[in-house]
Structure 1
């Protein structure tokens, strides 16, 4: 047991989050995502899982230890709804709230087309599959830095 660590952050996930460097991305995806075929192409090379956990709850756990990148215009993305790229689903609104709560209102989710999302996920450090059953519960987070204390 560790103090002050969200209990959803299992040893494999903690290892991945600690191993990621500035600018690396992690994909947090829903239960419909093709996890095995995509994860094998990531840096980590294996799927991570949080079964029975919603994507927003997984975001809360991940963002409790992972800073988002402030050096790029958009550090967090959502998979766009096919044919309606401007539409936001309930799970996307909930995920956005978790990002705001952790990092502040400057971090608005960008949109990324479905197949472009798959390609971006393959280039990510790792893919974390949640138990999220709602459609379009797929997101990318880019790791930032923790500045030294003055």
Structure 2
């Protein structure tokens, strides 16, 4: 056991977060996300909601302050201006937990998948709410 580390973060995920460098991206995917087939290393946290994982990750990982949008979600197919409840919750978590304020940007579904293919890793959660996917860009920890 370690202190001050959210217990839902598995040893594999802690290793992954530590191994990531500035500008690397992490995908938090819902239960429907094609984590295994998308390409990068896939980790599983079945039974954990994406919102709970986002909050835990942001307690350890800084968001990138050098890009316009260090967080991206998938647009609703057929209604790109819609903001699902889970995306609103993601924004609230970023507003209250992240080290820098950041507005979430959205990507068309297949653009989201293309970006996810180049991520450092994908964490598939047990999230059942649709569009419960987010890509985070890791920042730096200042000296």
Taking structure 1 as the reference length, what is the TM-score of the superposition? 0.92
- Mind listing any 5+ residue stretches in structure 1 that lack a counterpart? none
Which of 75, 79, 87 aligns to 2:82? It is 87
Q: Which residue of 2 aligns with 1:23?
A: 23
Which runs of structure 2 are paired with 1:73-84 in the superposition (5 Å)?
73-84=68-79
Deviation at 1:50, TM superposition (A): 1.2
Q: Which moved more, 1:64-73 or 1:98-107?
A: 98-107
1:5 alignment partner in structure 2: 5
Residue among 113, 122, 127 paired with 1:118: 113
The count of corresponding residues between Structure 1 and Structure 2 is: 143
Q: What SS is found at the alignment partner of 1:48?
A: strand
- Unaligned ranges ≥5, structure 2: none
Q: Work out the CA distance in 1 between the residues paired with 2:115 and 2:80.
A: 17
Q: Deviations over 1:87-138 (max 9, x none)?
A: 1111111111111111267311000111111111110000001110011111
- Stretches (4+) displaced over 4 A: none
Moved more, 102-111 or 92-101: 102-111
Measured in 2, the distance between the counterparts of 1:51 and 1:94 equals 20
C-alpha RMSD of matched pairs (Å): 1.1
